[in-house]
A and B are shown apart, each in its own frame.
Chain A
Amino acid sequence: MDIQNTQSQMRKGVLEFCILSIINRGEVYPSDIIDQMKAANLHILEGTLYPLLTRLKNAGLLNYRWVESVSGPPRKYFVMTDAGKEAFSVLLQTWNDMANAVSLLTQPQTPNTEA
């Protein structure tokens, strides 16, 4: 089994969920997403974040707003749409189930009564 491949599959799976969770907290600027993830010890390249955001936006889960900045041109801030919120709650439910299942399965086996 290719461990690296599995690892990357796992990461890929949760990446969108993580980003959605950050945006769910409130309007956010992409580089802030990076920072927040870094703080949570999840590292992501900005180069992969932008295409993800665009994809989510095109899927109707996100929307953006131009916010005037003190210096330079206005910046793009991302915000959740209703559809996004709905998708997020579904994903959250799935995640909780998964996390539960995984934590159960990764625990040392409890002695079976029948055995």
Chain B
Amino acid sequence: MKKVININFQGRILPIEEASYETLKQYIESLRQYFDAEEGRDEIINDIECRIAELCDDRLKKGAVCITEDDMRLIIESIGRPADFEAQDGFEATTSANASNASNAKQDQFSDNNENPKRLYRDEQNKVIGGVCAGIANYLKLDPLLVRVLWILLFGISFFAYVLLWIAVPNTSTKQIGGAKKRLFRDIDTKVIGGVCAGLSKYFGVRVIYIRLLFLVPTILLVFNWNHFHLFQFWEFDDFPNFIELTFSPSAVFIYIVLWLVLPEAKTTADKLEMRGEKVDINSIKNTIQTDMEGFGKRAQTWGSNMYNKNKINESQSTTTASSVAPEPPQPKGCLHFAGRTLTILFKAFVYFVLGIITISILAALFGFGIVATGLLPLRRFILEDGAHNWYAYAIIVFFIWVPVVGIVTAIIRKIAGIKKANVWVRGGFWSLWALSWIFIPLFFAKLTKSFSKQNDPQEQAYTLPNAKLNYLEVSAQPKLKYYNHTWLKIEPFTYLDQDTVYVRNLRIRIVKAAADSFEVKYVRISNGKTLQEAERLASLINFDLQQKDSTLFLDKGIAINKTDKFRNQHVIMTLAVPVGKRFKITNKGWAQVNVRVNKKGWRSETNSGFIINDGFDGDDWERNVDTEAFDYDHDVEYIMTPTGLERVDGVKTSNNDNEDPEQLKSRLEELKREKEKIENDLKKTWEQKQKEADEIKKQLDKTKDTLKRNSTKAVSKVSDTVKTIAAGFDAIRLLVSRFQS
């Protein structure tokens, strides 16, 4: 019993079985896809439909009740399936079309001797869950067990891959109905790298650019993460958009490579049709998974028991006969081939990756350039005059920077989106606009240079310190209210004071040795301008405040500039004279490192000429702030002025010999030599002198020795005499006593 429906097909009413109606619909759809690129697609389809309707009508006229599935099959065969069109060039005997490779897909699934490229199928017969592992094992000619174990070992990554492959890979029971079943291929026709994204987009019916972005965005993030975004170290990023901080999981690249390896290319027409195929939506995915999941437990059980039995057999085998033949090793050829392919693809992927990084870096640099230029735009009112200036600046930013940035980005997006041919007009437009910028650049800079062309005649002013007789002076920035323009981009040396005023940190400090024993401070205000008058006016407008509080000298952080007066390189050079033996420090508090210049020559000459010359101003004095003989000054460090120059209080030697020229070194060496000779001479003299002294002492000693000797012998003889006399006395006494006794 079959349901019959009536359809109005090309002006004919046809009773048709529902199943054959479905076949007809699929067939027409497959034709539509086949002739998709054809100019007269609709006409062709229409002609074929007319013919089908006619053939159906013929059958009905011959007495058929309705169009059965058999009828439909015959009609379709006589017209031909899309797969047959190309395979046989539409010219082979129609009778052999029945036996064409389209209809017997099932037979050649796993056979290698077939012309068709080997394909990955999910193995329905040996499946446990979805048959993916079994299919892969089949494809690689490995034991499914091995594949499953590896799969489980790599669980984290493989889970998603499994689900993806489950959905994407057709199972072995897939029948081909005019290429209506969808399969995942790599689309090599519209590929950029490996055709993976193109294939995925065909499969899911999504525009390819979305898939590509899906893969590309994480890759870009990886690139940025890699460098921790130190690409632009010359300005601070306060709160740059956070997306750079997003962590990247390398899975995008990994998945891409895996898919590249696993997916077959869509080579034949049949492949290409299958690639587009039937619509895949959530429902059909759900259905596939649902049907597969049914009986999962059962299959797992049987698989388990099978494995158990196998193990038992293996055990018994290995115990009984040690020489039992080992199971056939997987065919090495297939493995080698696969390994080779893997290596090639990995290498390719690496090359593309590196190229990608280079491209992205270039783009990032361009973008950075553009951002800086645009970021400066709010400041332009402090620099540029209204009118021509402004227009030139805009033209340069737009034409010179943003035009190429947009052009390159467009080209990349076009490439990603698969639009291969760039419009000649668009490309030419970009180039000519960019060329236009080269006209504006010299104009702009000529104008700008003119605005800076004149400089005022600076007058040095003295600031009398209320308390100059200090032992220690600290120089620091004036703690002033700061206008917080919360922007992620900070461009030194400009700082906003408020919306209409910027601070230009254009202050230089010179350190010299004071002639007297007290600290002294002088400063000059300098400005450029279009005319001398303007320069003078702007210089006189510079409001530079100094204040001493206890042992701290507070300076203005910078020079305030408003929109009407503009920035014309207003700057202040302050000279701080430090007396010998006094200490000072320039802190970093309240400002970033201030521009401190200590020049050795300067202080040397000033020890002679003195810092303050009576009339108060020595023309050259402050101007000699640029000197080849630089002093290695460290910020935020306490220094002491010594007769020979500045020294760090903490005793760390400053290495200021780096810039000394060889002549100086030579003279220094000679000096040292002379010094050495002198010292040697001195030493010699001293030595001789000492020698003499030693001789004298020796003589003296000898003398003393002699006298001592003589004296001693004298004394001894004297004593002996005495003793003799005493002895004689005793003898006499003894004689006397004996005489007396007798």
Residues on A close to B: CB < 8 A? Answer: 8, 11-12, 15, 30-31, 42-51, 53-55, 57-58, 71-73, 75-76
23 A-B pairs with C-beta separation under 8 A: A8-B88, A12-B89, A12-B91, A15-B90, A30-B47, A42-B91, A43-B91, A45-B84, A45-B85, A45-B94, A46-B79, A46-B80, A47-B48, A48-B91, A50-B44, A50-B48, A51-B40, A53-B47, A55-B40, A58-B39, A58-B40, A73-B12, A75-B50
Pick from A8, A54, A72: contact of B89, CB below 8 A.
Answer: A8
Residues on B with C-beta less than 8 A from A12 are 89, 91
Please tell me if the beta carbons of A46 and B44 are within 8 angstroms of each other in the complex.
no
User: With A45-B94, A47-B84, A54-B43 given, is the CB distance from A71 to B51 under 8 Å?
Assistant: no
Pick from A15, A43, A58, A76: contact of B47, CB below 8 A.
Answer: A76
Which 10 A-B residue pairs are closest in the complex by CB-CB distance? A48-B90, A45-B80, A47-B80, A73-B11, A11-B91, A54-B40, A8-B89, A46-B79, A50-B47, A43-B93
B713 → A minimal CB distance (Å)? 138
Residues on A with C-beta less than 8 A from B39 are 55, 58
A63 → B minimal CB distance (Å)? 14
Choose among A46, A49, A57, A75 the residue with the greatest number of B CB atoms under 10 Å from its CB.
A46
Complex: A51 Cα to B86 Cα, angstroms? 13
Residues on A with C-beta less than 8 A from B93 are 43
Residues on B with C-beta less than 8 A from A57 are 40
Please tell me if the beta carbons of A15 and B54 are within 8 angstroms of each other in the complex.
no
- Looking at chain A's contact residues, is the secondary structure mostly helix, strand, loop, or mixed? helix
- Looking at chain B's contact residues, is the secondary structure mostly helix, strand, loop, or mixed? helix
Chain B 68-91, CB-CB to A under 8 Å as 1, else 0, gives 000000000011111011001111
Complex: A108 Cα to B23 Cα, angstroms? 53
Please tell me if the beta carbons of A15 and B48 are within 8 angstroms of each other in the complex.
no
Interface size class of B (residues with CB under 8 A): 20 to 34
Residues on A with C-beta less than 8 A from B88 are 8, 45
Please tell me if the beta carbons of B91 and A54 are within 8 angstroms of each other in the complex.
no
Known A8-B88, A31-B51, A71-B57; further 8 A-B contacts with Cβ < 8 A: A8-B91, A43-B91, A45-B84, A46-B80, A47-B90, A55-B39, A72-B11, A73-B50
Which residues 21-79 in B have Cβ within 8 Å of A in the complex?
Answer: 31, 35, 38-40, 43-44, 47-48, 50-51, 53-54, 57, 61, 78-79
Which residues 78-116 in B have Cβ within 8 Å of A in the complex?
Answer: 78-82, 84-85, 88-95, 97
Complex: A43 Cα to B81 Cα, angstroms? 15
B638 → A minimal CB distance (Å)? 88
Choose among A49, A50, A57, A73 the residue with the greatest number of B CB atoms under 10 Å from its CB.
A50
Please tell me if the beta carbons of A47 and B91 are within 8 angstroms of each other in the complex.
no
Taking the complex as formed, is B311 at the interface, i.e. its CB lies under 8 A from any CB of chain A? no
Taking the complex as formed, is B344 at the interface, i.e. its CB lies under 8 A from any CB of chain A? no
Q: Which residue of B lies closest to A52 (CB)?
A: B90
Q: Which residue of A lies closest to B47 (CB)?
A: A50
Q: Which residue of B lies closest to A12 (CB)?
A: B89
Complex: A15 Cα to B47 Cα, angstroms? 19
Taking the complex as formed, is B10 at the interface, i.e. its CB lies under 8 A from any CB of chain A? yes
Choose among A43, A51, A72 the residue with the greatest number of B CB atoms under 10 Å from its CB.
A51
B237 → A minimal CB distance (Å)? 59
Q: Which residue of A lies closest to B48 (CB)?
A: A50
Complex: A53 Cα to B10 Cα, angstroms? 19
Pick from A31, A45, A54, A73: contact of B90, CB below 8 A.
Answer: A45
A94 → B minimal CB distance (Å)? 19
Please tell me if the beta carbons of B85 and A47 are within 8 angstroms of each other in the complex.
yes
Complex: A108 Cα to B99 Cα, angstroms? 37
Please tell me if the beta carbons of B11 and A51 are within 8 angstroms of each other in the complex.
no
Residues on B with C-beta less than 8 A from A30 are 47, 51
Please tell me if the beta carbons of A72 and B12 are within 8 angstroms of each other in the complex.
yes
Please tell me if the beta carbons of B82 and A47 are within 8 angstroms of each other in the complex.
yes
Pick from B31, B61, B92: contact of A43, CB below 8 A.
Answer: B92
